[in-house]
Amino acid sequence: MAQVTLRINGYAYMIGCQDGEEQHLEAMAAEVNRRIDGVRTASGPSGEARMLVMAALLMADDMFELSARLEAAEAAAEAPPVEPRPDPRLGRKLGRIAKRAEEIADGLEHP
């Protein structure tokens, strides 16, 4: 098992992970730092615990939204395709156009 030292909001944390997952863990820590920087920019300096809670809530909100989108996409993929309903006005209009075309064609045949 690998050990990685992560710096989050200026504090060092020793975290264990599976061998080969070190870069992934460091990328996650960088995302947490990015969120903390956003909280600090929006609300000013605050306590360590509050910064971490706010960053966690922002990330949880993103996860909730992505999960809802994924569920909607999966439901849409599983739903049978919806057949478009013909517009009755379009049928009537096409009928009038066809009748007019026949009248024009009759006029060309019989001068």
Nearest Cα to Cα of residue 50 among 62, 39, 64: 39
Distance CA 2, CA 22 (A): 7
Q: Which helix (H) or strand (E) holds 12?
A: strand 11-17
Closest CA to 54 of 29, 30, 27, 33: 33
Q: Which pLDDT belongs to residue 6?
A: 96
Tens-digit pLDDT string for the chain (111 aa)? 999 999 999 999 999 999 999 999 999 999 999 999 999 999 888 888 888 899 999 999 999 999 999 999 998 888 887 777 777 788 788 888 888 888 777 776 655
